[in-house]
């Protein structure tokens, strides 16, 4: 299936952090839907080259691969510039790159906090700024997607910074949806819950899956398919939402069983 923009050109998606996990899955789904791809990675060159080879082999069109440290000033603008030079347009931005920061605040190093804030919030905001400038200039009614998290809606211990940044993206997306609606540009968030990240993981076999209402944890393709739909004409009346893709994980509350066989838990055992 070919995905064609209004000018008759194939649509282009820029996906950050596309070498592993959710980013890899998003890239493969959007390639299958007909998008030309620009993919960023930071350090996992072997992984991104495997994604590049796979997409090139299956769909016959190599993605643009961009190595970038998005915490560095000027990198977001450079990534957008390189994508525009290669394809001449951007129809979809998927702000996927991020870093976990799971620590008690009183024990968190300042450098670790700065890294999380820069990569999990500042970078996607700047990428959105520069991508949308190009969309407006080229009269493209595009889409901006922020990958957030179920942690942006429900509090967990050791999650004040990572969860806080995801919550901030959800709130920022709402304002951006209002700012860019007059240009036909939609802004939404997709919030994965527990999702397989490594190739040796099986969504049906992970212990946490037994505690999720739908009986398994998520897969990268679950996230990719949601993004493909949310960015399509079928969802043209949707903007400013946070679409949770978590199998119902947080509906009944946080899994509190700390036993190893439960596969997950946060509860504290207090000494008598």
Give the per-residue pLDDT at 136. 98
Residue 262 lies in a domain: no
Can you give the chain as a three-state secondary structure string?
CCCECCCCCECEEEECCCCCHHHHHHHHHHHHCCCEEEEEECCCHHHHHHHHHHHHHHHCCCCEEEECCCCCCCHHHHHHHHHHHHHCCCCEEEECCCCCCCCCHHHCCHHHHHHHHHHHHHHHHHHHHHHHHHHHHCCCCCEEEEECCHHHCCCCCCCCCHHHHHHHHHHHHHHHHHHHHHHCCEEEEEEECCECCCCCCCCCCCHHHHHCCCCCCECHHHHHHHHHHHCCHHHCCCCCCEEEECCCCCCCCCCCCCCHHHCCCCCCCCCC
CA 70, chain centre distance (Å): 14
Calculate mean pLDDT across residues 139-152: 96
Residue range 184-243, pLDDT digits in tens? 999 999 999 888 776 666 766 677 777 888 888 899 999 999 999 999 999 999 999 999
Position with higher pLDDT, 263 vs 160: 160
Query: Per the domain annotation, does 241 fall within a domain?
Result: yes
Residue 110: phi and psi, rounded to 5, are -65, -35
> Does residue 256 surpass a pLDDT of 90?
no
Question: Which structural domain, as residue segments, surrounds residue 116?
Answer: 12-250
Looking at residue 251, what is its pLDDT?
Answer: 86
Catalytic site residue 41? no
Select which of 35, 121, 130, 162 is catalytic: 162
- Evaluate whether residue 2 is within a structural domain: no
C-alpha count within 13 angstroms, C-beta hemisphere, residue 41:
22
* Predicted local confidence at residue 1, as pLDDT: 39
Burial of 136: CB neighbours in 10 Å, binned 0-12, 13-18, 19+: middle
> Does residue 267 fall inside a structural domain?
no
| pLDDT value at residue 155 | 87
**Residue 258 confidence (pLDDT) above 80:** no
Contacts of residue 101, Cβ cutoff 8 Å, sequence gap at least 6: 108, 112, 113, 115, 116, 120, 161, 162
pLDDT at 165 over 50: yes
Residue 260 belongs to some domain of the structure: no
pLDDT at 159: 92
Whether 100 is covered by a domain: the verdict is yes
| Average pLDDT, rounded, for the chain | 90
List, for residues 43-69, the tens digit of each pLDDT value.
Answer: 889 999 999 999 999 999 999 999 999
Number of domains in the chain: 1
Rounded average pLDDT over 13-40: 96
Q: What is the CATH number of the domain that holds 24?
A: 3.40.50.720
> Is 6 domain-assigned?
no
């Amino acid at each position: 299936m070919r995905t064609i923009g209004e000018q008759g050109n194939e649509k282009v998606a820029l996906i950050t952090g596309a070498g592993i996990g959710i980013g890899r899955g998003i890239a493969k789904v959007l390639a299958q839907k007909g998008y030309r791809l620009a993919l960023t990675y930071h350090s996992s060159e072997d992984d991104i080259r495997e994604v590049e080879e796979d997409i090139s082999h299956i769909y016959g069109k190599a993605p643009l691969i961009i190595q970038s440290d998005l915490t560095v000033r000027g990198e977001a603008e450079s990534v957008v510039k390189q994508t525009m030079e290669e394809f001449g347009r951007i129809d979809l931005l998927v702000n996927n790159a991020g870093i976990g920061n799971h620590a008690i605040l009183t024990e968190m190093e300042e450098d670790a906090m700065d890294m999380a804030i820069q990569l999990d919030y500042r970078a996607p905001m700047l990428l959105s700024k520069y991508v949308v400038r190009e969309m407006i200039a080229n009269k493209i009614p595009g889409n901006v997607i922020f990958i957030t998290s179920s942690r942006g809606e429900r509090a967990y211990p050791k999650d004040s910074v990572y969860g806080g940044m995801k919550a901030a993206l959800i709130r920022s997306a709402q304002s951006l949806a209002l700012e860019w609606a007059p240009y036909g540009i939609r802004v939404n968030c997709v919030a994965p819950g527990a999702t397989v990240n490594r190739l040796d993981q099986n969504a049906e076999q992970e212990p946490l899956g037994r505690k999720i209402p739908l009986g398994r944890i998520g897969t990268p393709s679950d996230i990719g398919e949601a993004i493909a739909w949310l960015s399509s004409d079928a969802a043209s009346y949707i903007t400013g939402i946070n679409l949770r893709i978590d199998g119902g994980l947080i509906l009944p509350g946080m899994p509190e069983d700390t036993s190893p066989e439960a596969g997950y838990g946060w509860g504290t055992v207090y000494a008598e």
